[in-house]
Amino acid sequence: MIMHDDDRTAAWRRVAAAGDELSLAVACQACATDLDADCLGVSLIVAGEVRLLGCATDERAERMEDAQLVAGEGPCTDAYRYRGLVEEADLYRAFDRWPAFTQAAAEQNIRSVMAFPLVLGTLAIGVADVYRTEPGLLTARERNRARAYARILAVLALDEHPHLATSAPRSPRPGPQGYPPSIHMAAGVLAEVDNLVPEDALARLRAHAFAHNVPLVQTADHVLTHRTLD
């Protein structure tokens, strides 16, 4: 279905009415409310290398975005790689698709997800993940509205993070699409201390976070402070 100007106008009006200021956080909340989502997360990706949490409407969304960093899989990664909508009607039945991510979803009581790439022209800057605690997909009408919000979120994200437009674009590659700067730094510390190549240090960091059910950024902060995972 083609997105109409009416959808864009209605989305902008809802965002403007949702808060005293126009911001990415306000737009995320307006989008979640309008799409009847239980929570919503936005991950921003710089040239496929560095990933930042742009917004999370609550702790569940924050944990779901982090789970995709830890697992190196999930709707955010796929939507960014393929530059298109990625959805799963029932995550309880999607173990073969995203084994680690679906485990994290079950822990947060998330049953369905819809991921929309944030794209302006040829510039892909991230993904918005719409989470629900009930199984099911967005209707065609809701998808249209979600695409309108995706453009708004992209505009506001670029306004708040202008460096997203200055990084040289790269073709999407297999596997995880970027990590926060602190995680790259922590992997560098582990690589130096344990005499590992950076890829193995990053894998060890992710494995430790997954095994201990700790956010990846928190694990990285521990390494940066103590120079060890212990």
Per-residue pLDDT tens over the stretch 109-159: 999 999 999 998 888 899 999 999 999 999 999 999 999 999 999 999 989
Whether the Cβ atoms of residue 117 and residue 79 lie closer than 8 Å to each other: yes
For residue 70, what pLDDT is reported? 77
Under 8 Å between Cβ of 128 and 40: yes
Rounded to two decimals, the pTM is: 0.76
Which one-letter DSSP state was computed for residue 133? S
Confidence (pLDDT) at 157: 92
Least confident window among 11-25, 27-41, 74-88, 153-167: 153-167
Residue 115: CB atoms within 10 Å? 26
Q: What is the mean pLDDT of residues 80-108?
A: 93
Nearest to 200 by CA among 191, 192, 208, 209: 191
For residue 4, what pLDDT is reported? 56
Q: DSSP characters for 56-113?
A: ESSHHHHHHHHHHHHHT-SHHHHHHHHTS-EEES-GGG-TTTSHHHHHHHHHTT--EE
Structure tokens, 116: 């929309």
Q: Is the pLDDT of residue 98 over 80?
A: yes
Is the pLDDT at 50 greater than 60? The verdict is yes
Mean pLDDT of 4-19: 85
- What is the CA 81 to chain-centroid distance, rounded? 12
pLDDT category at 2 given cuts 50, 70, 90 is very low
DSSP E strand boundaries for the chain? 39-46, 50-56, 86-88, 112-120, 123-132
The pLDDT mean for the chain works out to 86
Query: Which residue has tokens 């039945």?
Result: 93
Segment 57-61 shows an average pLDDT of 96
pLDDT of 57: 97
- Match 């309008």 to its residue by tokens: 34
Give the DSSP letter of residue 135: -
Q: Is 227 helix (H, G, I), strand (E, B) or coil?
A: coil
Helices (H) and strands (E) in the chain, counts: 9, 5
* Domain architecture of the chain: domains with CATH: 5-165 (3.30.450.40), 181-226 (1.10.10)
Closest CA to 70 of 222, 227, 205: 205
Whole-angstrom distance, CA of residue 45 vs CA of residue 157:
11
Residue pair 126/43 in contact by the 8 Å Cβ criterion: yes
What backbone torsions phi and psi does residue 169 show, to the nearest 5 degrees?
-70, 150
pLDDT of residue 202 exceeding 80: no
The tens digit of pLDDT for each residue in 156-196 reads 998 988 877 765 555 554 444 467 677 778 878 888 888 87
